[in-house]
């Protein structure tokens, strides 16, 4: 990776009543415009919103903590959110570090580099899902040979990232045995793809539908209309 990558998760505070919800929705509409502007300026690699929760998800690539800090704090929703910023590594580095630990070459370095997803814009025509895959901490009674085999299965499972039709992005939080996949397709298609991975039986997996910023704006305005509140005009998105 030429720059460090950070996954930013911004969860809105829980609203107390319809009046507070409407106020938050209006701020969210402005934040969606802000994030689209950052996408247009290539300051975000991608940005989504959870369909069923008031949570935004963004990937920032930068070498400057000050730049990252400014991007996060200039977001209109920042004062009203719980924000977490997680450094992440890509597939190639995960393979390299696991193989260095095992002292084995399972996937050649040249192939590992090709498994990293290229950056691309999200399509309004595709469905996206946030899939979190976690290997839980081992029991101290689990033999090291079994632990090492789980690491081998983790490496071999990285071959699945060759499927760019069902995968949009994949990251691994620094210092955690977690994989974060942005899948593209139906939930059945993406989860069948995930279940096909050799490491799947050793993981705890969750799957949450995502919205592009455009669809998140439409969801936001539809809710404002339901609450009989004025809609916030967008510089980038339409209501229809």
What percentage of the chain exceeds 90 in pLDDT? 97
State the average pLDDT over residues 211-225.
97
Across 107-224, the runs of DSSP E, i.e. the strands, are 128-134, 167-173, 178-184, 204-211
**pLDDT confidence band for 1 (50 / 70 / 90):** very low
- The predicted-structure confidence for 170-186, as pLDDT tens digits, reads as follows 999 999 999 999 999 99
What does the alpha-carbon distance between residue 53 and residue 15 come to, in Å, rounded to a whole number? 12
State the average pLDDT over residues 69-87.
98
pLDDT at 2: 66
State yes or no: pLDDT of 166 exceeds 50: yes
State yes or no: pLDDT of 117 exceeds 50: yes
DSSP state of 172: E
Least confident of 75-79, 118-122, 129-133, 134-138: 118-122
What does the alpha-carbon distance between residue 19 and residue 127 come to, in Å, rounded to a whole number? 31
Distances (CA, A) of 176 to 172, 173, 179, 192, 207: 7, 6, 9, 24, 18
pLDDT at 222: 97
Least confident of 28-32, 161-165, 190-194: 161-165
CA 143 to chain centre: 33
Distances (CA, A) of 97 to 32, 69, 115: 37, 28, 15
Question: 207 pairs with which residues across the strands?
Answer: 131
What does the alpha-carbon distance between residue 27 and residue 207 come to, in Å, rounded to a whole number? 27
- 20 neighbors 33 (Cβ within 8 angstroms): no
Give which of 182, 156, 25 is closest to 102, Cα–Cα: 156
pLDDT at 239: 86
Token digits for 31?
């934040």
pTM of the model: 0.94
State yes or no: pLDDT of 154 exceeds 90: yes
State the average pLDDT over residues 25-29.
98
Give which of 223, 57, 231 is closest to 128, Cα–Cα: 57
- 102 neighbors 152 (Cβ within 8 angstroms): yes
- Look over the chain and give the mean of its residue pLDDT values, rounded to a whole number: 96
């Amino acid at each position: 990776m030429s720059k460090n990558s950070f996954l930013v998760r911004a969860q809105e505070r829980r609203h107390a009543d319809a009046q507070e919800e409407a106020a938050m929705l209006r701020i969210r509409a402005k934040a969606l415009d802000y994030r689209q502007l950052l996408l247009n300026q290539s300051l975000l690699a991608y940005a989504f919103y959870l369909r069923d929760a008031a949570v935004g998800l963004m990937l920032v690539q930068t070498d400057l903590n000050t730049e990252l800090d400014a991007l996060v704090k200039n977001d209109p929703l920042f004062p009203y959110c719980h924000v977490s910023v997680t450094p992440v590594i890509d597939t190639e580095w995960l393979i390299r570090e696991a193989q260095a630990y095992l002292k084995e070459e399972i996937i050649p370095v040249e192939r590992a580099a090709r498994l990293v997803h290229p950056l691309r814009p999200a399509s309004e025509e595709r469905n996206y899902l946030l899939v979190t895959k976690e290997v839980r901490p081992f029991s101290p009674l689990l033999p090291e040979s079994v632990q090492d085999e789980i690491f081998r299965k983790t490496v071999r499972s990285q071959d699945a990232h060759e499927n760019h039709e069902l995968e949009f992005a994949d990251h691994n939080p620094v210092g955690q045995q977690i994989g974060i996949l942005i899948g593209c397709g139906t939930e059945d298609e993406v989860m069948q793809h995930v279940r096909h991975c050799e490491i799947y039986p050793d993981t705890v997996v969750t799957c949450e539908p995502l919205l592009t910023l455009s669809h998140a704006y439409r969801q936001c305005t539809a809710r404002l209309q339901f609450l009989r509140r004025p809609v916030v005009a967008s510089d980038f998105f339409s209501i229809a």
